[in-house]
């Protein structure tokens, strides 16, 4: 397929069935070359969906947020590599051993990059306090990013609000992927205490790029848009 897509933009296929996901992929056509598949869709549709996306020439961000014993994490990373995924995520709160196991397993697959999730974008400082963490979200994100870098991860996942400090910490080469990006006026009905889409720490894709995020992960602002292709183009051109 001949793509005209911006390689920095990853569209989240946050659907609960394969038919809906594939319908959006078909509608976007060459306007998108990079998709995120999370646990909901992977559980509903199975690994053949990922294989199908890869066979069409798409890159796949397999958002597993792995948090298990190192041997199990390594096995899951190898499975992701065998599917042809370009990115797999591991939970940095599992510690250095888990992240290092993921990085080591990914070496078998030269195209597979391991990103460490720092603090999920739905969490606030009070959520961290509930689990016994006294640091602010900003402090915790940077602490976990340091661990990820020491473990050899290719990059991290953090909110767009943390992209700037993460880039300063990690330098120019590591990937910084930012979920929780929204288009102004693109989503409605945010819950109390949470912004649109369930994110507590969101911002626009343009703010994320200005802070030197390497990728943005966009969901409903594109997938629920009346014209998803136009929404993607709006992100790419910066207005």
pLDDT value of position 180: 84
pLDDT value of position 213: 97
CA distance 137 to 121: 10
CA distance 106 to 195: 34
pLDDT value of position 22: 97
Phi then psi dihedrals of residue 147, to 5 deg: -60, -40
Exposed / middle / buried, residue 236 (Cβ in 10 Å: 0-12, 13-18, 19+):
middle
Domain ranges of the chain: 9-237
pLDDT value of position 237: 85
pLDDT value of position 190: 37
By the 8 A CB rule, do 114 and 145 touch? no
pLDDT value of position 1: 47
Positions marked active-site: 65
Which residue do the tokens 């199908």 mark? 52
pLDDT value of position 29: 95
Where are the alpha helices (H) located in 29-136, listed in sequence order? 39-45, 47-55, 70-83, 96-106, 125-130
pLDDT value of position 10: 98
pLDDT value of position 214: 98
pLDDT value of position 145: 98
User: Where on the phi/psi map is residue 57: left (φ > 0), alpha (ψ -120 to 50), or beta?
Assistant: left
What the block records as the tokens of 101 is 């196991």
Residue-level pLDDT, tens digit, the chain, 239 residues: 444 799 999 999 999 999 999 999 999 999 999 999 999 999 999 999 999 999 999 999 999 999 999 999 999 999 999 999 999 999 999 999 999 999 999 999 999 999 999 999 888 889 999 999 999 999 999 999 999 999 999 999 999 999 999 999 999 999 999 998 988 865 433 333 344 556 678 899 999 999 999 999 999 999 999 999 999 999 988 75
Which fold does the domain 9-237 belong to in CATH? TIM Barrel (3.20.20)
What the block records as the tokens of 88 is 């797999």
Element (H, E) at 155: strand 155-157
């Amino acid at each position: 397929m001949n793509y005209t897509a911006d390689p920095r933009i990853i569209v989240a296929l946050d659907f609960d069935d394969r038919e809906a996901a594939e319908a959006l992929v078909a509608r976007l056509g060459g306007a998108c070359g990079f998709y995120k598949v999370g646990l909901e869709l992977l559980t509903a549709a199975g690994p053949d969906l990922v294989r199908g996306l890869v066979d069409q020439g798409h890159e796949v961000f397999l958002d597993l947020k792995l948090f298990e014993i190192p041997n199990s994490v390594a096995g899951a990373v190898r499975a992701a590599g065998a599917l042809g995924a370009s990115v797999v995520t591991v939970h940095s709160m599992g510690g250095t051993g888990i992240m290092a196991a993921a990085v080591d397993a990914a070496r078998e697959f030269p195209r597979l990059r391991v990103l460490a999730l720092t603090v999920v974008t739905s969490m606030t400082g009070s959520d961290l306090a509930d689990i016994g963490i006294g640091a602010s979200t900003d402090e915790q994100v940077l602490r976990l990013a340091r661990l990820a870098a020491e473990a050899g991860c290719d990059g991290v996942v953090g909110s767009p609000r943390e992209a700037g400090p993460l880039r300063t910490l990690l330098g120019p080469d590591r990937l910084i992927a930012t979920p929780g990006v929204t288009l102004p006026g693109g989503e409605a009905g945010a819950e109390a205490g949470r912004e649109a889409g369930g994110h507590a720490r969101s911002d626009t894709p343009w703010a994320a790029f200005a802070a030197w995020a390497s990728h943005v992960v966009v969901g409903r602002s594109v997938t629920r848009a009346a014209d998803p292709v136009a929404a993607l183009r709006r992100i790419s051109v910066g207005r």
